[in-house]
A = this chain, B = another copy of it.
């Protein structure tokens, strides 16, 4: 265990009293990480092995050997902390991994990889550059996300992630290419599978998310805050061990589609899997492949499977027991984690098989127990039912804007708790990593029994990337440009100034788009209906009402984007959601129940209707006596929305120019009196530099 102790380190605190001590601590952490990473590759006894594609979904190990060094340089260049490339070719080849590929999306690229020696020489160069930078960089405490030390820590923690993922790939290399290594020795203990049992956990409330004030480095997806009410459940004492999982395998679990999700069945069909990835069955015996050697299947070690296999096991187990068996959600896992009141870097000794403090492999599932539950952290990662999502308040780090956001797609599930090789940030309570559900890591699972068949996960709040919808989200909820005030707010304020005696009962926001005016009207009215023709748009108003927040990505330049989040709370609409209904509907064919309004507001609607005259002829029926109709529009008629023969204006009629205002007046004058007419400007951002700047005309009409 003496050699093992050398590998132990802890992620530095961002705080401290001495800048130079902190500088020294960071330098030590950097070199320790760089060396530890290289020591893993030292297990490889032949350069040839660096180029094998043991796993067709991943690059060969040579990529990962170079990648963690290149990452430092590329991020330092992006942050302008470094001005020169060291090696243009290597810094391009080693830049982009393929971790996120689907199993049916094989990478068939040909790579002319550099030699191991060249790569090692490059690593040495980088080590020197980073060392110098650490020595010379400006440093104040505490370290914040915009300081150069944060980028150094980002590079270090990034390398610690790849320490783990590279070790997974090495578990797939033929053993002949690997030698034993004193730092990387596996646990030697194994025995019969312990009998699993269930512990009752009472209902409670947990708060998820790493506080902005936390004192350790975190990845963007860890921050923000979300409070979740968790119902009571019964949880398995042990992670599912190889022995427990073997029953499923021997019961023909891999051959029975019933236990597998549709995605699981597709994966089975593609891989032909019949047992976990690191098992083998040879000469009547099950074996397990560890990092550097094989052993007879250790029945009391945790099984290592992907989410799809874990879920299939649960479904099978549920049938066996007649109960609702499933994986924990992120919140349920957190309830268990909260029973453990220590965390890296504060613990003296790891409270589980984690941080390389105990083994360079898994160990029996009954080795580390706390409050009756084993392996709350460590041993293997624990899959959850929760697709990864940003917490409310999530913000992308500008120098790594694709670390998390591409995984907020509902197809990446979180696992929690860390494995024996999870170190640094990975070994902290807030660490959240997510992979596609078919991916293998040093990951297994614990199951629970729920009162209900329902799995309490929320749909993922994906980033709206539809360019038009995202434009409108920014238009309604984003920044102001060219001094034009927020348009939906300005419209509501302006219309209120022109509608004396307006009753504040029911309001209709027709053509509500992504909904800002509906919220704004709800400040003043008892009830607001927001109606839009397009589900693509109105879903965001609906989502804001239901979940309190929504997200979108807007172009900055070319294909580059900026990520944005809005929340009702920040907008000051926290208490208004119950006053609003968002409904998909057709302004020209409104359902009868949409009537009895004191106000009908149509923002930028009239020139997007397929029959504006029909709409205007009927709308008076929806208003209460003395009610107001308010229209705003830039009168941008387009044949894609409105056939030319239906345009209200902007046309020649009987040879004479007719403006839209003329046309509006002609149709509305029967039932309405015009009480105000005013320009209201608005700006829609297309890119960081290009905007639509428009002057809408507001006309205010009172029912005669």
Which residues of A come within 8 Å of B, CB atoms?
Answer: 74-75, 77-78, 91-92, 95-96, 401-402, 482, 556-560, 634-637, 644, 647, 649-657, 659-660, 683, 687, 689-697
Contact = CB atoms under 8 A, between A and B. Distances in A.
A652 B657 CA distance: 50
Nearest to A558: B650
B692 A691 contact: yes
B78 A657 contact: yes
Contacts of A482: 482, 693
B689 A655 contact: no
A225 B267 CA distance: 81
A435 to B, nearest CB: 18
A654 B689 contact: no
B693 A683 contact: yes
Given A655-B96, A656-B77, A637 B558 contact: yes
A651 B559 contact: yes
A209 B634 CA distance: 39
A634 B696 contact: no
Given A92-B654, A95-B654, A96-B654, A557 B659 contact: yes
B557 A649 contact: yes
A560 B657 contact: yes
A675 B652 CA distance: 53
Contact of A659 (B75, B560, B644): B560
Contacts of A637: 557-558
A557 B650 contact: yes
A697 B689 CA distance: 9
A519 B693 CA distance: 28
Nearest to A679: B689
A696 to B, nearest CB: 7
A654 B74 contact: yes
B690 A560 contact: no
Which of the listed residues A634, A636, A656, A690 has the most CB atoms from chain B within 10 Å of its own CB?
Answer: A656
Contact of A558 (B77, B651, B654): B651
30 contacts: A77-B656, A91-B654, A95-B656, A96-B655, A401-B657, A402-B655, A557-B635, A557-B650, A557-B659, A558-B635, A558-B647, A558-B649, A558-B651, A558-B660, A559-B650, A560-B652, A560-B657, A560-B659, A636-B687, A636-B689, A683-B693, A689-B694, A689-B697, A690-B692, A690-B693, A690-B694, A690-B695, A691-B692, A691-B694, A692-B692
Contacts of A696: 689
B557 A656 contact: no
B690 A656 contact: no
A652 B557 contact: no
Contacts of A402: 652, 655
Contacts of A634: 687, 689-690
A401 B655 CA distance: 10
Given A558-B637, A558-B660, A636-B689, 11 more contacts: A74-B655, A78-B657, A95-B656, A96-B654, A557-B660, A558-B650, A559-B651, A689-B695, A689-B697, A691-B692, A692-B692
Contacts of A651: 558-560
Which of the listed residues A91, A557, A637, A696 has the most CB atoms from chain B within 10 Å of its own CB?
Answer: A557
Contacts of A644: 559
Which 9 pairs of residues, A with B, have the shortest CB-CB distance?
Answer: A558-B650, A95-B654, A693-B693, A557-B650, A634-B689, A558-B637, A96-B655, A689-B695, A691-B693
Contacts of A697: 689
A116 to B, nearest CB: 21
A697 to B, nearest CB: 7
A44 to B, nearest CB: 25
A422 to B, nearest CB: 24
A677 to B, nearest CB: 14
Contacts of A78: 656-657
Contact of A689 (B74, B77, B635): B635
